[in-house]
Chains A and B, each alone.
Chain A
Amino acid sequence: AQSVAQPEDQVNVAEGNPLTVKCTYSVSGNPYLFWYVQYPNRGLQFLLKYITGDNLVKGSYGFEAEFNKSQTSFHLKKPSALVSDSALYFCAVRDVGGYNKLIFGAGTRLAVHP
């Protein structure tokens, strides 16, 4: 079965520093991988996706993610964190079946301190 793991419950980073939120995956076949963000009292928002092609994927709000097939990882990154980036981040993988059934990780809370 398809699955993703987010090994960190929380990531703390100082404003202006680079940030990484980790995700590893387990899939059969080629993975379709995603990152979503959830701000307080807001719905989940799509950030970026990897389907095929370049291993470095760029998304919304200056975020990017690096697909690493050998390490089965899809870590979310940003060169310079903002306080406003503080939110809950979810990694997801598309399940088999031909439509968008997504399997989400447990989430990582990102706290950016001034």
Chain B
Amino acid sequence: DTGVSQNPRHKITKRGQNVTFRCDPISEHNRLYWYRQTLGQGPEFLTYFQNEAQLEKSRLLSDRFSAERPKGSFSTLEIQRTEQGDSAMYLCASSPKDRGNTGELFFGEGSRLTVL
């Protein structure tokens, strides 16, 4: 399968622990996005990478959140000192630059975080 891959698919953790999610985009896509989706809501933009450069961060991304894309390929999203309010589905999407300006994003299946 050559789609967007996210791991782990589900993470249960205790409040205060750190968690890290990984996203492997479609190989030729240079644009990568992270979104967060809570129950009953649409996806909310968190951050955007073009190659290895993080070009925008939402104010939703507090200091406890950090995202990287060190070689312009896979990306990681780390949440430090998790809180119960961090429980959500974290979605990764990618797009090629030529389609990037017309809105077609390719989403992974998401990583569901449950903070106890």
Of A32, A90, A99, A103, the contact of B55 (CB 8 Å cutoff):
A99
Name the B residues within 8 Å of A45 (CB-CB).
107
B35-43, B59-67, B70-78 - the one binding chain A: B35-43
Number of A-B contacts (CB under 8 A): 71
B102 touches A99 (CB 8 A): no
Tell me the complex Cα distance, A51–B102, Å.
Answer: 7
Query: Is A74 among interface residues, defined by CB-CB distance under 8 A?
Result: no
Name the B residues within 8 Å of A82 (CB-CB).
none
Query: Is B79 among interface residues, defined by CB-CB distance under 8 A?
Result: no
B95 CB to nearest A CB, Å: 6
B56 touches A32 (CB 8 A): no
Query: Which B residues contact A (CB, under 8 angstroms)?
Result: 3-4, 31, 33, 40-45, 48, 50, 55-56, 91, 93, 95, 100-110
